[in-house]
């Protein structure tokens, strides 16, 4: 195994100079750095992770806590893309990621915090979990740097889509197309759901439109069957809506199935609006009208903010980072004008 001493001997410099060059210290000239790095690469030098950890007090390993109730795992269209962006961005900065086990049926399993400490994670990213789970709260309140995606805790950095902007644009767009009877099948209770629902009601009120109580119903996120059943309920009303909002794109296709089974057409009889902008929705017909969340930027911001908390804790503020998305005008919203 090639050591710093071997590289120093080959370059005819001190071991300290080699160390500084490889760690990009400013008191070593660019030409010397390039020469030492080239020799190190040629000799097949690989840094010793354990030694680097002892010296910097960092393992350069980040934990990922991802628990999807729908059990779609990394097939989860939205979060899979966010985590992929996060992974690529932290790897650019020399970090690896490890998923925190959530198998609670395993005998003698550790809590999330115990697992994180056992693995010596420098920080943890939390996405798509039961955020009121005592184990999650314990981890968030520990001294390990944590960034959450799409959920707001006090004193924790959060990366979140601009749900207010998303729902606002969708409501305005539907009303511009002449819709006044708009129902909303929203997701399960969460800070994201509350933000979207309040915005929906506020925008409808601003347009002078009253939303009947029976037009607001709930189903879990990404639950196609639940959305299908709730849509059937809406279609049994005496005064059915002309447009239905869904909690996510995946669920909206359960709604489309229900509408068609009732002998109605999308969008001519009932219009459908999703949320997320998943890739598959752009290829199915009719193309879904939806709000595309910027998963690339969400992942990049999560990576940047978590690394800042790890490497610059004294100068990094806890903050809420809001990432805007984009309205996608599909074919599932009829123009009633």
Model pLDDT for residues 110-161, shown as the tens digit of each residue? 889 999 998 889 999 998 777 888 999 999 999 999 999 988 888 899 999 9
Domain residue ranges in the chain: 4-47, 61-160+296-324, 163-293
CATH code for residues 61-160+296-324: 3.40.50.2300
| CA distances (Å), origin 291, targets 5, 72, 278, 283, 299 | 57, 22, 9, 15, 18
Question: What's the burial of 78, exposed, middle or buried (CB within 10 Å: 0-12/13-18/19+)?
Answer: buried
61-160+296-324 against 163-293: fold identical: yes
Q: Which CATH number fits domain 163-293: 2.40.30.10, 3.40.50.2300, 3.20.20.140, 3.40.50.1440?
A: 3.40.50.2300
Please report the pLDDT score of residue 183 as a whole number: 98
Pair type for strands 123-127 and 96-99: unpaired
State which residues of the chain have pLDDT below 70.
47-57, 68-76, 102-108, 281
Please report the pLDDT score of residue 76 as a whole number: 66
Model pLDDT for residues 191-232, shown as the tens digit of each residue? 889 999 999 999 999 999 999 999 999 999 889 999 999 999
Q: Both tokens of residue 213?
A: 């109580």
Please report the pLDDT score of residue 328 as a whole number: 94
Phi, psi of 217 (to 5 degrees): -135, 165
Neighbours of 133 (CB within 10 A): 14
Q: What is the pTM of this model?
A: 0.79
* 148, 86 Cβ separation under 8 angstroms: no
């Amino acid at each position: 195994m090639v050591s710093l001493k071997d590289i120093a001997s080959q370059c005819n410099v001190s071991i300290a100079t080699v160390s500084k060059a490889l760690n990009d210290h400013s008191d070593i000239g660019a030409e010397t750095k390039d020469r030492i790095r080239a020799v190190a690469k040629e000799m097949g030098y690989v840094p010793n992770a354990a030694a680097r950890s002892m010296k910097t007090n960092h393992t350069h390993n980040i934990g990922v806590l991802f628990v999807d109730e729908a059990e779609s795992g990394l097939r989860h269209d939205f979060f899979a893309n966010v985590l992929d962006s996060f992974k690529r961005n932290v790897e650019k900065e020399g970090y690896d990621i490890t998923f925190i086990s959530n198998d609670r049926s395993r005998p003698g399993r550790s809590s999330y915090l115990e697992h994180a400490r056992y693995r010596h994670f420098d920080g943890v990213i939390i996405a798509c979990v039961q955020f009121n789970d005592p184990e999650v709260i314990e981890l968030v309140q520990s001294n390990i740097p944590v960034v959450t995606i799409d959920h707001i805790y006090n004193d924790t950095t959060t990366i979140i889509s601009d749900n207010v902007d998303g729902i606002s644009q969708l409501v305005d767009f539907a009303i511009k197309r002449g819709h006044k009877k708009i129902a909303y099948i929203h997701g399960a209770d969460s800070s994201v759901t509350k933000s979207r629902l309040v915005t929906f009601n506020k925008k409808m009120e601003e347009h002078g439109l009253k939303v009947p109580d029976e037009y607001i119903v709930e189903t879990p996120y990404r639950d196609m069957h639940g959305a299908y059943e709730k849509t059937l309920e809406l279609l049994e009303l005496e005064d059915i809506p002309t447009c239905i909002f869904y909690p996510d794109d995946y669920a909206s296709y359960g709604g489309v199935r229900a509408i068609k089974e009732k002998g109605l057409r999308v969008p001519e009889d009932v219009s459908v609006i999703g949320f997320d902008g998943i890739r598959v929705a752009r290829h199915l017909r009719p193309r879904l009208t939806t709000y595309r969340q910027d998963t690339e930027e969400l992942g990049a911001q999560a990576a940047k903010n978590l690394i800042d908390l790890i490497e610059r804790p004294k100068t990094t503020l806890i903050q809420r980072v809001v990432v805007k998305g984009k309205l996608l005008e599909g074919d599932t919203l009829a123009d009633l004008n």
